[in-house]
Amino acid sequence: MSTLPLISCRGLTKIYPLSGVEVHALRGVDLDIERGEMVAIMGPSGSGKSTLMNILGCMDMQTEGSYYFDGVDTGDLDARELAGLRNKKFGFVFQRYNLLPRASALYNVEIPLFYSGMYGDEVKNRALAALKRFGIDDLADHRPNQLSGGQQQRVAIARAVVNNPLVVLADEPTGALDTTNSLEVMKILQKMHIEQSVTVIIITHEPEIAGFCPRKLIMRDGKIISDQFSASDVRR
């Protein structure tokens, strides 16, 4: 095992060439996240939260700087290996759920398993078990438009964790939900963090949501300006 933290970034910079003007989305981010942490990333829009999360989830590449995940320099990986990481090590939860509209809840959860080369009954059983974990296995046949927002987000969480990832990345997971459902979703994420030591990283605007997380990062203009641990949680 590596002595490095699960996530270790040094000098992350991201520059978007936007119609001739270079937009600096990240301006040198240093960040270490240990296995099993639950972290909230806050900050105004345009502060680079989503860019950072995309790079952490191997969805995008930094312009400069290094990102070691689980001891491996992601800059050394090719597109295929990065896809494998996204499939097996990361689970993504989005504000707008991003479920395939014409597929059933069950099928949506099955897709990551297909991409990892699984087939047959194993796929179905694992997907059903994931739905059951969040109490929505009775909705397996329903299409996304037949589900409420809270139910859809639970399907999306089931899809994110069906491959037992090390890290769940949630980009404003409660942004489209009412208070009851928001709390519900946060409890689910918190439970995964506590019971299974899944590393959870959440982008949010709302302090109550961030309140679920023992560690809070605040970003501004592409930099981390604050990194605090709440008093109740002692860092392992």
Partner 1 sequence: MSVRFQVLSSFSIDALKANKMRSFLTMLGIIIGVAAVILMMSIGQGAQQQVLSRINSLGSNLLTVMPGAAGQFVRSGNVNTLTLKDAQAIAKLTGVACVAPTVRGSALATCGNKTWTTSISGTTQEITDISSLEIEQGRFFSESDVNGISAVAVIGQTVYENLFDSGADPVGSEIRLSGVTFKVIGLLKTIGASSGGDDRDDTIYIPVTTAQIRLLGTTNQSVNQVQVQVQDINQISTVQDEIASLLRKRHRLSDQADDDFNIRDITQIQNTAQNVTGILTLFLAGVAMISLIVGGIGIMNIMLVSVTERTREIGLRMAIGATRQDILNQFLYEAILLSLTGSFFGIVFGVAGSKIFSYFAKWSTAISIQAVVLSVVFALIIGVFFGYYPARRASRLNPAEALSFE
Interface with partner 1 (CB under 8 A): 50, 54, 57, 59-60, 79-80, 83-84, 86-88, 92, 94, 98, 100, 102-103, 111-112, 114-117, 119, 159, 163
Which amino acid, one-letter code, is at 77? L
In the numeric block, the tokens 């990065």 are attached to 82
Q: Which is nearer to partner 1, 154 or 159 (CB)?
A: 159
Work out how close the CB of 108 gets to partner 1 at its nearest, in angstroms, rounded to a whole number. Answer: 9
Shortest distance, CB of residue 83 to partner 1, whole angstroms?
A: 4
d(CA 52, CA 54): 5
Q: What 3-state class would DSSP assign to 17?
A: strand
* Nearest C-alpha neighbor of 39 from the set 15, 63, 5, 74: 5
Minimum distance of partner 1 from residue 208's CB (angstroms) = 26
Q: Which is nearer to partner 1, 102 or 236 (CB)?
A: 102
Nearer to partner 1, 147 or 215 (CB): 147
In the complex, what is the shortest distance from the CB of residue 115 to partner 1, in angstroms, rounded to a whole number?
A: 4
Nearer to partner 1, 204 or 214 (CB): 204
Pick 78 or 195: Cβ nearer partner 1: 78
Residue (63 or 87) nearer to partner 1, CB: 87
- Residue 41's H or E segment, with its range, is strand 38-42
Say if CB 127 and CB 156 are below 8 A apart: no
Rounded to whole angstroms, the Cα distance separating 88 from 193 reads 17
Coil, strand or helix at 144: helix
Which two three-digit tokens encode residue 67? 């990102």
Residue type, 82: L
Taking the complex as a whole, how short is the minimal distance between the CB of residue 114 and partner 1, in angstroms? 4
Burial class (CB in 10 A: 0-12, 13-18, 19+), 15: middle
What is the nearest approach in angstroms of partner 1 to the Cβ of residue 50?
8
